[in-house]
């Protein structure tokens, strides 16, 4: 019922005759028909506006898809297994990125972009998401028509119809090859830097070892004075220099400790070692920087004095 027709009379009436009732019903039906027509008209206008808005929205979406910089693929929803869902649409960005024409890919599967270098784990994640009808984002190494490889950041989502059935997949693919090159370059740089740091540490360690070995080879372990081989070599060089340079002089002093064996025998070798260390320290404090003091035996020491005043210094 579209409305109610109300008829009133100021005079009391016992009731309406059949003729009056018929006339009222006829008028009510005509009015209802007019009202229904007006309602249908408004509904038709609303439907037409909705259709125009939907058409405009679809045109906007189509314009976005066609002119997008990212490659866009639309495939059928199934089959997920081989041979894979068929491609029903690709935009211009897809053809520019892959080198395929639209005619070459329609009806085929996106698997044509995969290669033996495509990460198997990433493909397994992709398959699991598609089997569960879930959207997914993943990075894949794809192959162009000419065989060159490129990296894509892939976003896939299912599309359902008005009944809720998934009918298609929409895939947006962004070429991220430049970013991957930068990441790989940065990774290689970090590896090289780590290798350089490791190499520097190894070189420093070797230098420390070499310095330790060199020190050990030329010094006495107990007193830290120069040892006998080092002193003999310095003495040999000094004698050679005296034969070349008449102004160069050197003197050699030998010293030993009296009754040192008595200290070892009565107080022990540890006491003897401490005595040798103390004597070495005192001797070192009495010599000049350019002179060479060495322990050449158990309780024997030698001093090489160099310079024009070598003889006078030795006598003093």
Q: What is the pLDDT of residue 54?
A: 62
The full DSSP string for 292-307 is: EEEE-SSSEEEEEEES
Digit-coded pLDDT (tens) for 128-171: 888 888 888 888 888 899 999 989 888 888 988 888 888 888 88
The DSSP bridge partners found for residue 169 are 75, 158
181 pLDDT above the threshold of 90: no
Boundaries of every domain in the chain: 16-66, 68-175, 179-216, 219-315
Domain 68-175's class? alpha beta
Query: Tell me, what's the pLDDT at 162?
Result: 82
Q: Using CA atoms, how far apart are residues 99 and 112, in angstroms rounded to an integer? A: 12
- Give the CATH superfamily of 219-315: Reverse transcriptase/Diguanylate cyclase domain (3.30.70.270)
For the residues 100-126, what does the mean pLDDT come to? 88
- Give how far Cα 3 sits from Cα of 7, 26, 31, 39, 117, Å: 13, 14, 9, 12, 73
CB 175 within 8 A of CB 150: yes
Q: Report how far residue 23's alpha carbon sits from residue 7's, in angstroms, rounded to the nearest whole number.
A: 12
Check residue 93 and give its pLDDT.
86
Residue with tokens 């309602």: 39
Answer yes or no: are the C-beta atoms of 228 and 294 closer than 8 Å. yes
Instruction: Kindly tell me if the per-residue pLDDT of 2 is higher than 70.
Output: no
Cα-to-chain-centroid distance, residue 203: 29
Q: How many CB atoms lie within 10 A of CB 104?
A: 15
> Mean pLDDT throughout 39-68?
65
pLDDT greater than 80 at residue 281: yes
Give the sign of the dihedral formed by CA 96, CA 98, CA 99, CA 104: negative
What mean pLDDT, rounded, does the chain reach? Answer: 83
| Region of poorest pLDDT, from 15-24, 67-76, 270-279 | 15-24
CA distance to 9, 10, 11, per residue, from 15 (Å): 11, 13, 11
- At 10, the pLDDT band (50, 70, 90 cuts) reads low
Please name the residue that has the structure tokens 């003091």. Answer: 293
């Amino acid at each position: 019922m579209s409305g109610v027709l109300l008829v009133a009379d100021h005079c009391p009436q016992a009731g309406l005759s059949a003729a009056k009732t018929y006339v009222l019903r006829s008028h009510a039906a005509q009015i209802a028909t007019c009202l229904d027509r007006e309602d249908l008209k408004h509904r038709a206008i609303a439907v037409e506006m909705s259709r125009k808005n939907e058409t405009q929205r679809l045109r906007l979406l189509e314009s976005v898809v066609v002119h997008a910089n990212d490659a866009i693929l639309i495939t059928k929803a199934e089959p997920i297994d081989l041979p894979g869902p068929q491609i029903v649409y690709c935009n211009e960005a897809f053809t520019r990125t892959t080198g395929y024409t639209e005619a070459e890919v329609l009806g085929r599967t996106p698997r044509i972009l995969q290669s033996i270098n495509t990460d198997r784990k990433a493909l397994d994640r992709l398959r699991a998401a598609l089997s569960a009808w879930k959207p997914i984002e993943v990075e894949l190494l794809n192959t162009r028509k000419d065989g060159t490889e490129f990296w894509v950041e892939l976003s896939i989502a299912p599309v359902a119809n008005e009944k809720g059935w998934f009918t298609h997949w929409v895939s947006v693919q962004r070429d991220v090859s430049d970013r991957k090159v930068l990441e790989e370059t940065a990774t290689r740089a970090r590896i090289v830097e780590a290798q350089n740091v490791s190499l520097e540490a190894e070189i420093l360690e070797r230098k420390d070892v070499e310095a330790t070995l060199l020190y050990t080879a030329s010094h006495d372990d107990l007193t830290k004075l120069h040892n006998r081989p080092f002193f003999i070599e310095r003495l040999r060089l000094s004698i050679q220099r005296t034969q070349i340079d008449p102004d160069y002089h050197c003197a050699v002093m030998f010293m030993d400790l009296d009754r040192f064996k008595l200290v070892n025998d009565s107080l022990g070798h540890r006491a003897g070692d401490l005595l040798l260390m103390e004597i070495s320290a005192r001797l070192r404090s009495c010599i000049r920087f350019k002179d060479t003091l060495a322990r050449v035996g158990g309780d024997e020491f030698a001093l090489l004095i160099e310079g024009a005043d070598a003889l006078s210094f030795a006598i003093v």
